[in-house]
Structure 1
Amino acid sequence: MTLRSSVVLNRLLAKVRVRHLQALARLAELGNVNRAAQAMGMTQPAVTLLLADLERLMEAPLFVRHARGVTPTPLARELLPLVRQMLGRLEESAELVASRLDHQQGTVRVATTAAGANGLLAQVLPGFLAAHPQVQVLVNEVDILAVSASIDTGSADLVFCRQPAVVPQGWRFAPCQDDRFVVACGLQHPLARRKRLALADLEHATWLPNAMGSAARDRYEQLLQQQGWTPRTCQIVTRISPLTWTLLDTRPLLALVPFSVLRPWVERGQLKVLPLPLDLPFEPLGVLRPAEGLGPAGERLVAYVLEAAGEWR
C-alpha cells in the first residue's frame, strides 16, 4: 500500500523530536554510531533507538549497516539538506532568543556574496558595531546563485550583493558602491614595481584564469580577444577568493578581478592593482532589503551602510 505524504507528515509532527534530526545529521556526517553518540553527548544504544524510531516512522531504511559503521541510503541523502536547514534555523532561533533575553537591540540576519563581504561589510561592520554594540549581526556568505534562495526561504533579513537583473518581488535594491574590474598581482611580481603600464606590457604574462561562467571570465575573454593575445595560464581555476589571493601572492601571476573583492588585500598592502588604461565598469554593490517589515536592527544597519556609501561617493 502506498504511504501518503499526509500520513508521513502527521507521524513526524506527532513523534519526531530535535534529537531525531540531530542523530540523522550526525550519523551521516560521522558514519559511525559510537562517534555520533559521543558528539551528541548520548549513549550508543540511545542513538541506535533514535535511528530505529525514524526508520519505523518512514517505513524505510535510512542507513546501511556494515562492519565499519553506517552509510546513508538514497532516501537519507535526499532528506539531509532539509534536516540540516531545519537544524540551522533552530540555531538561528536560539541566537535570536538569547539576544532578546540579553537585552540586546535585536538581531539582523545577513546573507552576503564574497563581493558584498569584501567590498561593503568589511568596510562598515567595524564602525557599525562600535556605534550599535547591542545589535547582533549574523553573517553568512552565499554564492550569487543562492541569493534568491536566501530570500525565498526567509533565512536572511538583508542581502549584500551586486545589483540583480531582477529584484525579487517585495524587495528593493539600494546601490552603495560602484565597482570595476582591475588587473591584480602579488607584490613580488615583476610588473608590481612599475608606476605606469600599457596593455601591451601584459601580453607575455602568465594569468590565473577565472572560473567559467563568471562575469570576470567573460571580461577576461573579451580582453584577450580585443588584444589578440594567446596568454600562458595557470592550470588552477577556482572561485575561492582566499585561494586566488594566495596564488597571486606566491606566484608570478596576473588576474582580472572585481576591485571590491580584492579591496581588503590591497588596502592591507598584500596585493597590487596594476596601473593600466582600463575602463571596465561592473554592476554596483549594494543591499537588497524588504520593502516592508524590516526590523529595527536591520533598519539601523541599512541606514549606517547608506550613510557610509554617501561618504564614499
Structure 2
Amino acid sequence: MQALVTLDDLRSISKAAQAMGVTQPAMSQLVAELEALLEVQLYLRHSRGVVPTTSAIELLPVARRILTATEEAATRIAFQQAQDGGLVRIAATVAGSGALLHTVLPQFSTDYPNVKVTIDRVVGQALDQAFSLDEFDLICCREREVVPTGWQFIECLPDALVTVAGRAHPLSSRTNLDIEELRDATWLSNQPVTIARHGFDKLLANRGWTDTKQVPIMSRIPLLTYRMLEAGHTLCLVPRSAMIPWLSTGALVELPVNMNMPLPAVGYYRKVNHAGSATRALARRLRSVSGDTPDQRGLLP
C-alpha cells in the first residue's frame, strides 16, 4: 500500500524507491507483486516516469485510508507501551523547571535508570497548546485560573516575587532590610508582559520610585539572569521558583525584605486516570517538594 501511494505521489520508480529507502528493483517488485495479486495493471511506464491506471486511481483512496489507520493504530500501541513502560513526557515552564524538575530529576534518574524522561520548555501560547496536544504526560507550571478539561492540578510549592542579588552585592550580607533601602539600587529589567514586570511596575508605583536605575537587558532565560546578578551590581524582582537552582546553592541570595507579592502555586497537571507506572513514580517525587524556603525544601547540600 505504501508503494502504491508513494509512486502516485512521485510518479517515478526511482524517486519512490529513494523515498521508501529501498532499491529501484525492489520497488518495481513491490508494484509487480501487488499487480499480480489484484490481477490488474496499476501503473503505465513511460520515459518520464509512470502514470496510474483507472484501477490504481480507484484503489488509491482505499490505500491511503489503510495507511492512515495503520499509523494511528501503531501510534496508539506505542503510546500505551510508553505509558505502561518507562517513558515520561513533560512540558515545563521556567517556574516548573526551576522549582520542581531541578530538584527532583537528578535523584530520580539514579533511582529509575530505565525510565526515559523527555522535557520540552513551554511558554505563552506553547503552554496553552500543551494541554490540547496528546504529547505530554505531565505539565509542570503554575496553577491556572481555569483547569483544562481532562487535567488535574497537584500543588507542590508556594511561590512569590522576591528580590534576588548575587553574593557579591553589598546588600547580600544583610540580615534585615527595609524596602526603602532598595530605592537607590540598580535593577535588572524584566521582560514586558510577565508577572515579574507587572510586579516591579506595581512596586515602583506604590512606593513612588520614579527615578529607579535599570539595566536595559531583558531575558526570560534564568541562566542569563543569574549571570547578570552574579557580578554583584544589580538586584532583580523575580519569582523565587525561577531562581531556586542558584538560591539552593547559595550562588544567589534572596534579600530579607518582605515584598508581599504572592504568586499562584507551582505544581504539575496530570491527565485524570491516565498515567503509567513511570509517570506515577515521577509524580510522587514531584509531590515530595514542599516548604517555604530553600533550606526547608531540602535543596541545600
Bin the TM-score by the shorter chain.
Answer: 0.5 to 0.7
Q: What is the CA distance between 1:190 and its match in structure 2?
A: 1.6
Q: Please give the alpha-carbon distance, in whole angstroms, between the structure 2 residues aligned to 1:108 and 1:284.
A: 23
Out of 265, 273, 277, which is 1:284 matched to? 265
2:163 is paired with a residue whose SS is strand
Q: Please give the alpha-carbon distance, in whole angstroms, between the structure 1 residues aligned to 2:184 and 2:232.
A: 15
Structure-2 change in CA distance of 1:14 and 1:256 (3 Å): farther
| Contact persistence 2:108–2:282 (CA under 8 A) | yes
Out of 248, 252, 268, which is 1:271 matched to? 252
Structure-2 change in CA distance of 1:302 and 1:144 (3 Å): farther
Paired position in structure 2 for 1:108: 88
Q: What is the CA distance between 1:114 and its match in structure 2?
A: 1.1
Structure-2 change in CA distance of 1:312 and 1:270 (3 Å): closer
Q: What is the CA distance between 1:268 and its match in structure 2?
A: 1.5
Q: What is the aligned-residue identity percentage?
A: 33
Paired position in structure 1 for 2:194: 214
Q: Please give the alpha-carbon distance, in whole angstroms, between the structure 2 residues aligned to 1:270 and 1:312.
A: 17
Q: Give the aligned residue type for 2:271.
A: P
Q: Give the aligned residue type for 1:214.
A: T
Q: What is the CA distance between 1:157 and its match in structure 2?
A: 1.2
Q: Which has the larger radius of gyration?
A: 2
Q: Please give the alpha-carbon distance, in whole angstroms, between the structure 2 residues aligned to 1:246 and 1:139.
A: 24
- How many residue pairs align between the two structures? 227
Higher RCO (CA 8 Å, separation ≥ 6 residues) = 2
- TM-score, L = length of structure 2: 0.68
Paired position in structure 2 for 1:41: none
Q: What is the CA distance between 1:13 and its match in structure 2?
A: 10
| Contact persistence 1:171–1:291 (CA under 8 A) | yes
Q: Deviations over 1:188-224 (max 9, x none)?
A: 1121122211111111111111111101111111111
Paired position in structure 2 for 1:295: 276
- TM-score, L = length of structure 1: 0.65
Q: Please give the alpha-carbon distance, in whole angstroms, between the structure 1 residues aligned to 2:133 and 2:8.
A: 24
Q: Give the aligned residue type for 1:210.
A: N
Q: What is the CA distance between 1:149 and its match in structure 2?
A: 1.2
Out of 118, 126, 131, which is 1:146 matched to? 126
What stretches of structure 2 of length at least 5 have no aligned partner?
11-15, 20-48, 50-74
Q: Please give the alpha-carbon distance, in whole angstroms, between the structure 2 residues aligned to 1:263 and 1:227.
A: 27
Q: What is the CA distance between 1:251 and its match in structure 2?
A: 5.0
What stretches of structure 1 of length at least 5 have no aligned partner?
1-9, 21-52, 54-92
Matches within 5 A, 1:1-313: 15=9, 105-230=85-210, 231-250=212-231, 252-309=233-290, 312=297
Q: Give the aligned residue type for 2:265.
A: P
| Contact persistence 1:144–1:161 (CA under 8 A) | no
Q: Please give the alpha-carbon distance, in whole angstroms, between the structure 2 residues aligned to 1:237 and 1:227.
A: 23
Q: Give the aligned residue type for 1:238.
A: S
Q: Deviations over 1:223-251 (max 9, x none)?
A: 11111102011111221211111111125
Q: What is the CA distance between 1:180 and its match in structure 2?
A: 1.1
Q: What is the CA distance between 1:278 and its match in structure 2?
A: 2.4
More helix by share: 1
Q: Please give the alpha-carbon distance, in whole angstroms, between the structure 2 residues aligned to 1:309 and 1:191.
A: 28
Q: Please give the alpha-carbon distance, in whole angstroms, between the structure 2 residues aligned to 1:139 and 1:266.
A: 23
| Contact persistence 1:170–1:292 (CA under 8 A) | no
Structure-2 change in CA distance of 1:14 and 1:280 (3 Å): farther
Q: What is the CA distance between 1:308 and its match in structure 2?
A: 4.0
2:171 is paired with a residue whose SS is helix
1:192 is paired with a residue whose SS is coil
Paired position in structure 1 for 2:38: none
Q: Give the aligned residue type for 1:194.
A: R
2:125 is paired with a residue whose SS is helix
2:172 is paired with a residue whose SS is helix
Q: Please give the alpha-carbon distance, in whole angstroms, between the structure 2 residues aligned to 1:307 and 1:187.
A: 29
